[in-house]
Structure 1
């Protein structure tokens, strides 16, 4: 079973940020399809950062997480993939969102597939996904899905958002599947994988913490063909 954890930085209840995270998680489940037994191979959990605001402040001051925050950090570290969504404040991610990833173990996201998203009141902040979120997760050495999703207030119910969500969900599902230890190229045997790596074709020989690295061109071609 593949575990996807949504980290939602939304402050309201209900929250458009949580809604975007839920929609992205559902897109990943659709893209993953069903297993041989008919069950969905993806299960999801959500970490609501607004519920962790006080424990986060205590951790930043003392260096020790409480039980609730510790459990949330463990969920993120042990997940197969992450969906990270934040509201926009002052043209960037929220302080609460940044604080959570500040206290996360620096190596927790190394090689882990991450899908990024943000919500805001105006389309003018759409570049926050590329100018703030993507550099943050690149610094944490995560494998960030090519498509980031920004949803302004007027995007809900309008043309285009559903398509972006579906595309991003397919990309994360593919990254999670390909990053699983022991994943082979479709139809390829182990010797074929090894020979392909040695010849510079197919899967490269290098890996990140046991994850086989798939060339981005192959990932993108597979997503477009899906």
Structure 2
């Protein structure tokens, strides 16, 4: 039996990034909880041609293969940095290339990073409606991490880590037979 695939997408163009650290931490929590395969993609993985692409087939073969991996995922974790009260244009451009039906029914954990708490509502007011357009099943708990939640590039804020752990449990309803905790208790 093939394990479900959960793909994390970090929408930050810089490396290393807090957004990548958030996605990486979330994928570690998912792996500890569910018997699934995980993969982490960053916006830069799609290459320098991403900005010029008008459709998916304009992407280089390697970038297209990564899009196919993203679209074949059974669940997604999508995180973006917040700049000037919104997500970056290149992140949105990547999403714009996707077919509107390509994420239908897919569970998605929404997350963002920002300099301060005033960016926290971007997740609810921009990311949730964006994924709603694609008819994705956004998990009820979204996560925002600000600069104070990171130490030396690692996510360390207790309240944010607790919220992220709670959000990750919401994948359980979509992958109940892959729940490690349930099998361990049997």
TM-score tier after normalising by the smaller chain length: 0.7 to 0.9
Report Cα offsets for 1:19-54 as digits up to 9, x if no partner: 00011111112222xxxxxxxx21111111123252
Alignment length, in residue pairs? 172
Give 1:42-191 correspondences, 5 Å limit: 42-60=36-54, 64-156=58-150, 157-172=156-171, 174-177=172-175
TM-score, reference length from structure 2: 0.85
- Given the alignment of the two structures, is residue 28 of structure 1 paired with residue 27 of structure 2, yes or no? no
Q: Under a length normalisation based on structure 1, what TM-score does the superposition of the two structures give?
A: 0.71
Q: Structure 1 residue 149: deviation in Å?
A: 0.5
CA RMSD of aligned residues (A): 2.1
* CA–CA separation in structure 2 for the residues paired with 1:57 and 1:47: 17
Q: Distance in 2 between matches of 1:177 and 1:51?
A: 28
Residue 110 of structure 1, CA deviation: 0.4
Q: State the shift of 1:176 in Å.
A: 2.9
- Judged with a 3 Å threshold, the aligned counterparts in structure 2 of structure 1 residues 25 and 7 are, in CA distance, closer, same or farther, namely same
Structure 1, unmatched stretches of 5+, are 33-40, 181-185, 187-226
Contact 2:45–2:63 under 8 Å retained in 1: no
C-alpha distance in structure 1 between counterparts of 2:5 and 2:117, whole Å: 32
Q: Indicate how the Cα distance of structure 1 residues 101 and 62 shifts in structure 2: closer, same or farther if over 3 A, else same.
A: closer
Task: Identify unmatched segments of 5+ residues in structure 2.
Answer: 151-155
Alpha-carbon offset, residue 62 of structure 1? 9.0
Q: 1:62 to 1:149 in 2, by over 3 A?
A: closer
Distance change (3 Å), C-alpha of 1:5 and 1:133:
same
Question: What CA deviation, in whole Å up to 9, does each residue of 1:47-76 have, x standing for no partner?
Answer: 111232522123127962221221121011
Q: Secondary structure at the match of 1:56?
A: coil
Question: Equivalent residue for 1:206?
Answer: none
What CA distance in whole angstroms lies between the structure 2 residues aligned with 1:57 and 1:98?
Answer: 10
**Which is bigger in relative contact order (C-alpha 8 A, separation at least 6)?**
2
